[in-house]
Amino acid sequence: MLDIEKIRADFPILQEEVYPGVPLIFLDSAASSQKPTAVIEAMNHYYRTAHANVHRGIYRLSEEATNAYEGAREKVARFINARDTAEIIYVRNATEAFNLVAYSWGEANIHPGDEILLTEMEHHANLVPWHLLVERKGATIKYVPFDENGMLDLSTLGELLTERTKIFSFTAVSNVFGTINPVRQLVDAAHAVGAVAMVDAAQAVPHMAVDVQDWDCDFLAFSSHKMCGPTGIGILYGKRAQLEAMPPFMGGGDMIQRVTLAGSTWNELPWKFEAGTPSIAEGIGLGTAVDYLTAIGMDAIHAHEQFITHYALEALSEVPGLKVWGPPIASQKAGVAAFTLEKVHPHDIAELLDKDGIAIRAGHHCAMPLHQKLGLNASARASFYLHTTTAEIDNLIISLNRVRKLFRL
């Protein structure tokens, strides 16, 4: 069991009051997690004592900044068990990672008549870049459906994956249902027809141990801001052979080896895909977040979230008129509970819960096709993390019952 009170003390914002006398209950970590003091201080230390551009200066500050920034890349590589740091590409967020692959790999490998396979539960970040690609290339997209419990219908894979499939890009964990998908099984199915496999791990890497070699995926994307790190930086992992074969995504400083008026040649990996001055402080912050999560232990974090999710599902099931969407069993999902309450719009639920200091998300959660299939315009979503307590869940239930009373349900 985690020492939750000790962990909560690491997050300054959790000591704040939303309104006078109303403490914050933060249940929106799936959108963006809060930051521990260690991450905040690491970024402040860089700006106060070691700010300089990386890779360029032959002086102490620049070398110190470079070592910290590249050291963070090494930490990330170990965290997801990449073979080497050259397979770790800094991007702004997971969305940019998908766009990078769609433009760089996609432009070179997708042709008219080719097929891309996605799922119906994808975040827009893993939909829109592929929509743009097929418009340019004359390819088509197919989708693995989900069933009434928010689980992928794997019986359809045999007909959806064909010799025309060039890439299968899917989420490891649904940001709406919380569904934990069988990543290795899906990767193997893609490879069996000669397709490339890309994994959206934005909701997986912060919450459970992820091993890219065990998954054998060709590409993987995740964001720093969902794993106790800062905004403005994320990671694209790619197998070295795939990345070596891909052309650069953007041009400019740092991604070049040599420039003449006649043309340019490219830097080696990983810098071939990192044009311009990077997010240095954010990279250092991400590395510190990796240290923080590693010290606690990803297995322990996952176990705590499973406990909290089970507790929340049991409690929510006792609220009359409330429906939780997605797998009904905590072991099948991560720390997410998307729900609707009859006759009450999710935006009204979120606004009223805020008066009790409870922060949840309301809307389509960047997954409009998923909601359209469910016949919903929006849902409310409570999401949990390593600092969530059963008392916070109890307060959520009390507030939801106040909502019911206010709407005379």
CATH number of the domain where residue 400 is located: 3.90.1150.10
The residue ranges of the chain whose pLDDT is under 50 are: none
**Angle (nearest 5°) at CA 78 between 73 and 80:** 100
pLDDT score recorded for residue 95 = 98
Give the active site residue among 14, 128, 298, 366: 366
Domain co-membership, 348 together with 200: no
pLDDT score recorded for residue 1 = 79
Q: Which residues is 359 bridged to in the sheet?
A: 26
pLDDT score recorded for residue 337 = 98
Domain co-membership, 21 together with 59: no
pLDDT score recorded for residue 218 = 98
Domain co-membership, 289 together with 309: no
pLDDT digits (tens, 9 = 90+) for 288-322: 999 999 999 999 999 999 999 999 999 999 999 99
Domain co-membership, 255 together with 387: no
Question: For residue 36, is it within any domain?
Answer: no
pLDDT score recorded for residue 254 = 87
Which residues lie below 8 Å from residue 365, measured CB to CB, with a gap of 6+?
30, 31, 123, 175, 176, 338, 371, 379, 381
End-to-end CA, the chain:
38
Residue 164 CA to residue 114 CA, distance in Å, equals 5
The range of the structural domain enclosing residue 25 comes to: 4-30+297-406
pLDDT score recorded for residue 234 = 98
Q: For the purposes of burial, counting CB atoms within 10 Å of the CB of 53, is it exposed (0-12), middle (13-18) or buried (19 or more)?
A: middle
pLDDT digits (tens, 9 = 90+) for 77-110: 999 999 999 999 999 999 999 999 999 999 999 9
- Angstrom distances, CA of residue 205 to CA of 127, 172, 257, 271, 299: 20, 9, 33, 23, 11
Domain co-membership, 227 together with 353: no
Q: Based on the residue annotation, tell me whether 366 is a catalytic residue of this protein.
A: yes
pLDDT score recorded for residue 134 = 98
Cβ atoms of 107 and 238 closer than 8 Å: no
Domain co-membership, 228 together with 272: yes
Cβ atoms of 162 and 191 closer than 8 Å: no
Domain count, the chain: 2
